[in-house]
Amino acid sequence: MRILLVEDDDLLAQAVATTLAKQNYVVDVAADGEAGWELVSVCNYDLILLDVVLPKLDGISLCRQLRQAGYKMLILLLTAKDTKTDKILGLDAGADDYVVKPFDFQELSARIRALLRRGNTSLPPVLEWGSLRLDPNICEVAYADITLHLTAKEFSILELFLRNNQRTFSRSAIVDQLWGAEKDPPEENTIKSHIKSLRQKLKAAGANYDFIETVYGMGYRLKALSHEQNCPITEPETNSNQQQILLAAIAKERENFKAKVGSRIAVLKQAVDALTKGTLDAQLRQKAEQEAHKLVGSLGSFGFPEGSLLANEIEDLFQSKTSISQTQCFYLDKLLMELQRELEKTSVEQTQTLLLVVSNDQQVTEQLLKEAVNQEIQVKITTNLAATRKMIASLNPDVVLLDIDIEKDSLKLLIELSQRSPTVSETPTPSIPVLVLTERNNFSDRVEVARIGGRAFLQKSMPPSQIFESVTQVLQQTRITKARIMVVDDDPQILTVIQQSLEALGLTSKTLEDPRYFWDILTEFSPDLLILDVEMPYINGIELCQIVRNDPYWKFLLVLFIVDDLQADIVEKIFALGADDCVSKPIVSSKLITQILNRLERTQLISKMSKARCSAYIC
């Protein structure tokens, strides 16, 4: 099958083309609508993946132009605008289907397979010719139940013959069908070698050597069947091995994207800097808008949904027909910093949440597995405590749902997980939140679960959606520990103590001994909470707090002070300047951590409301 991808986002186009090639599609790529039209005029395509927003000729206009010219190939639109109007325009222009950016690569592959089946209704899902059976969905070929191990090109050639079983293909025609337009075509002897290898593998499985016969002076074709018939059979489920290949390809392209996306962020940063200085021209503004638009689609597709939303806000601001105000400029700068932080997240941080369900109640676990698909949460099941401990050690789940009716000593596991604590020399093993699931409903059990650290007491009779709602709430609370904290103190020993305490809990921290470098570190690290010592050389903590509160971007940053003693005049002064909390020396790690977590938890809702108000004001 040959596909044309018309997409101006080169990083996304490369990733889509690579993942489709892994599924044995031949893919050509065009960066604008006019180039796409030129390729269609010289090559035959089974399907076109067509972005809507394109330079030179937009996707909907190209789609309309193709249909008016009589082209019948399938067209799948890729649009970043999930509105009814855009969908109607695309379908009215002749598109067969659409996918909204950001899209999931596996869903896109499934949509393509479904369209190709729908567009070729005369073809069975599994292709057969006598005793030969080729399944294009799982890339498997068998002759008389003997599996053939073919190369990607051998598979494509055989599929081409099976889909056109009455046609003779010359070597040049095979090249035109199965090699991309931008790649150097192989020599005709290369095709001869592929055919020879195919024949040998078919013969080894029991077929005649001339299963693919030579028509002298014309090319190759499948040898006509005598009395055997080609019988279509039901399409099987996707092969897990092929699925793993696809997932590996997607993961690799995600890393490639992360490595190359910096150039786009650089354009946005250049535009924001120019805007701050009052030197932003129309050309740079348009370029920034285009790069933000590309990021909206690609970030979500590569597993950065929050980044996609941030890029969308940036695009909207640059798209505005009015001049960008100073307030909007500060907000743009903030959005860009948040976007950079989002891209710094590791692959582990981007993976699905893992819920470990410990229960031998089959009805409950089956219901939870079904609901997990809707919740986009990965679920693993264990049926006894011994297996659970092994799985926790190997997988380190985000949250555990524990059926305490499973064994008499089930509550011991709750105690273990809620009281895990690291030592300085060990790898940090933070506690895992545990929700209890049970048929019991007496007050004494509720008290016991609460006392030993259970995060929720849930009844098995509850709907699965309600159980997952409780899981989500607990996860939101635990994500507070992903906050970034900056500590400024001229005492290196205090810095070490605080940093070790924070990192043991999984919090990201940055320490600074010399306050003269405060602003550079603040803007580079972009903390969620700032810890300041009051007395420091060069610039004291009170002055640093005042600098922060005077800045429109940083004025709402959480600030916690370290004071030598809680003297009334000092405490009154720091709170008058806008401090959120204070802690006295000597530092008690447990007390400091408790104050930090409580402060972050209390201000989480306020922060969201503040951001919503800011967005509403800008719009």
For residue 203, give the CATH number of its domain: 1.10.10.10
Residues 52-63 have pLDDT tens digits of 888 888 888 888
**Boundary (domain end) residue, out of 169, 194, 222:** 222
Largest Cα–Cα distance in the chain?
Answer: 102
Lowest mean pLDDT among 21-25, 32-36, 216-220, 351-355: 351-355
Residues 340 and 453 in one domain: no
Tokens (6 digits) for 613:
């108000």
Residues 211 and 275 in one domain: no
Residues 175 and 217 in one domain: yes
Residues 69 and 103 in one domain: yes
**Boundary (domain end) residue, out of 433, 458, 479:** 479
pLDDT (average), residues 315-323: 82
DSSP SS3 for 241: helix
Q: Does 573 reside within a domain? A: yes
Q: Count up the domains in the chain and report the number.
A: 5
User: Residue 178 sits in which domain range?
Assistant: 127-222
Q: Could you write out the DSSP letters of every residue in 287-315?
A: HHHHHHHHHHHHHHHTT-HHHHHHHHHHH
For residue 102, give the CATH number of its domain: 3.40.50.2300
Answer whether residue 437 shows pLDDT above 60: yes
Residues 401 and 526 in one domain: no
Q: Does 246 reside within a domain? A: no
pTM of the complete model: 0.46
Instruction: Categorize the per-residue pLDDT at 175 as very low, low, confident or very high, splitting at 50, 70 and 90.
Output: confident
Stronger pLDDT, 607 or 420, i.e. the higher one = 420
Residues 425 and 527 in one domain: no
The Cβ-side half-sphere exposure at 390, using a 13 Å CA radius, reads 7
**Boundary (domain end) residue, out of 427, 452, 479:** 479
Which pLDDT value is given to residue 531?
94
Residues 269 and 380 in one domain: no
The count of other CB atoms within 10 Å of the CB of residue 332 is 22
Q: Does 51 reside within a domain? A: yes
Residues 358 and 466 in one domain: yes
Q: Does 232 reside within a domain? A: no
Q: Does 268 reside within a domain? A: yes
In sequence order, which residues have a C-beta less than 8 Å from that of residue 98 and are 6 or more positions away?
Answer: 76, 77, 78, 79, 87, 90, 91
Residues 143 and 16 in one domain: no
Residues 285 and 373 in one domain: no
Which pLDDT value is given to residue 86?
63
Cα separation, 372 vs 398, whole angstroms: 14
Q: Could you write out the DSSP letters of every residue in 150-178?
A: --HHHHHHHHHHHHTTT--B-HHHHHHHH
The count of other CB atoms within 10 Å of the CB of residue 41 is 9
Q: Could you write out the DSSP letters of every residue in 80-130?
A: S---HHHHHHHHHTT-SEEEESS--HHHHHHHHHHHHHHHTTTS-SSEEET
Cα separation, 453 vs 441, whole angstroms: 18
Residues 179-201 have pLDDT tens digits of 765 556 677 678 888 888 898 89
Lowest mean pLDDT among 37-41, 150-154, 238-242, 604-608: 604-608
Q: Does 250 reside within a domain? A: no
For residue 289, give the CATH number of its domain: 1.20.120
Q: Is the separation of the CB atoms in 509 and 486 below 8 Å?
A: yes
Residues 393 and 414 in one domain: yes
Q: Is the separation of the CB atoms in 219 and 169 below 8 Å?
A: yes
Classify residue 519 as exposed, middle or buried by CB count within 10 Å of its CB (0-12, 13-18, 19+).
Answer: middle
Q: What are phi and psi of 30, to 5 degrees?
A: -125, 140
Instruction: Categorize the per-residue pLDDT at 236 as very low, low, confident or very high, splitting at 50, 70 and 90.
Output: very low
Residue 313: which of 615, 78, 25 has the closest Cα? 615
Q: Does 420 reside within a domain? A: yes
Which pLDDT value is given to residue 122?
44
Lowest mean pLDDT among 151-160, 260-269, 539-548, 604-613: 604-613
Q: Does 497 reside within a domain? A: yes
Which pLDDT value is given to residue 349?
43
Residue 351: which of 399, 392, 302, 309 has the closest Cα? 302
